[in-house]
Amino acid sequence: MEKNLIMARLSSFLFISFLQLIAICCRGKSQQLPKKHGAPTTPVPFFIFGDSFLDAGNNNYINTSTLDQANFWPYGETYFKFPTGRFSDGRLVSDFIAKHANLPLIPPFLQPGFRQYYLGVNFASAGAGALAETFQGFVINLKTQLSYYNKVESWLRQKLGNDEAKMSISRAVYLFSIGSNDYISPFLTNSTILNNYSDSTYVGMVIGNLTTVIKEIYKRGGRKFAFINLPDLGCLPGMRIIKSENNGSCLEEATSLATLHNQALSKLLFESEKRLKGIKYSLFDFNRNLRERMHHPSKYGFKEGETACCGTGQYRGVSSCGGKRRVKEFQLCKNPNDYVFWDSFHLTEKTYKQLADQMWRGTSNSHDVGPYYLKQLFRLH
């Protein structure tokens, strides 16, 4: 029965995929500086850095493995009806933020033919970390993403002139989701790197590289930054199955690293606000808000908070969604909207939308997002 369901959905998916591909490509190429009629509010550029939580398809265009790609069915089946490279059944947090900000979908930097950066661009790469060693050779690390941004910044100055480019860069919002892969990759690759450093030293290396990138963007005129902290890494479906002797309980070593990272990130941003004149930032507590949905799914309209929609094994924690990776067998749920998790490491569109809405508007809990929420950041001049 489940096999018939998968085949039926695959047939429907392929029927309209070609038209959807054309639509997405055209949408990416058409990004232009808005024409002014009267005095409408000028859109605020949106630049996106990070990992698979934000990758809109950059890894489609690099030489990597299918472990770091999502350009095959059933990824994208819910909204796009076509795999765009996003690690979800549909849109990501950054897509919903762009919608709230009256922007089009922000295209991946490496998308062929896309060379219009007036409204921003997405540099994120699935598997990327702040450390160059993280999944090295298979991803676009944070330092390389910064080098791509520097090219875009030069392009803006060439197209707009220094004064207008400076204004555009200072009005832009810079969104980051980075660090998860730096902490989970040693467990997934049997690396011994964590044996060479204390936990606090290793976290300091990750935060140090992020600090360098923030300072570089600030030096070039960026002033408005948004950050998503790390989820409870040890409790992701794909991490729960690493140690069979744990019987599906969370991998405490990974959870501990995420906790240390989040503390260090909060401290970094608090200190940056004092040291970097004019900087404004938003920090979203992704960790707490995802954990809430995992533990109390029905409160947020879900039926399942811990097992993924797509994959195989306990919690569907084996990263086999789509059958294009090392393990070919996978199961696919009937309705992704019932699930918090889409696959072994990533969330469903419904979850991402809820989190993006919180990031945009804020919540009744002042600790969830602050000191600014995204709506405020985009309106600041």
Any catalytic annotation for residue 52? Answer: yes
Cis peptide preceding 74, ω within 30 of 0: yes
> Which one of the listed residues 52, 88, 319, 320 is annotated catalytic?
52
Distance CA 379, CA 381 (A): 6
Phi and psi for 280 in degrees, rounded to 5? -130, 140
Phi and psi for 117 in degrees, rounded to 5? -110, 15
Burial category of 47 from C-beta neighbours within 10 Å (exposed 0-12, middle 13-18, buried 19 and up): buried
Q: HSE (CB half, 13 Å, CA atoms) of 223?
A: 16
H-state helical runs in 190-322: 199-219, 237-240, 252-275, 286-295
Sequence-separated (6 or more) residues with CB below 8 Å from residue 274: none
Any catalytic annotation for residue 343? Answer: yes
Any catalytic annotation for residue 256? Answer: no
> Which one of the listed residues 68, 232, 285, 343 is annotated catalytic?
343
Start-to-end CA distance of the chain, whole Å, equals: 56
DSSP string, 179-217: SHHHHHHHHHHT--GGGSS-HHHHHHHHHHHHHHHHHHH
Sequence-separated (6 or more) residues with CB below 8 Å from residue 356: 93, 94, 95, 96, 97, 100
Q: Which residues pair with 370 in a beta bridge?
A: 283
> Which one of the listed residues 55, 182, 346, 368 is annotated catalytic?
346
The DSSP secondary-structure symbol of 49 reads E
* Number of other CB atoms surrounding residue 340 within 10 Å: 25
Phi and psi for 244 in degrees, rounded to 5? -60, -30
* Closest of 304, 299, 303, 306 to residue 232, by C-alpha: 306
Active site residues: 52, 343, 346
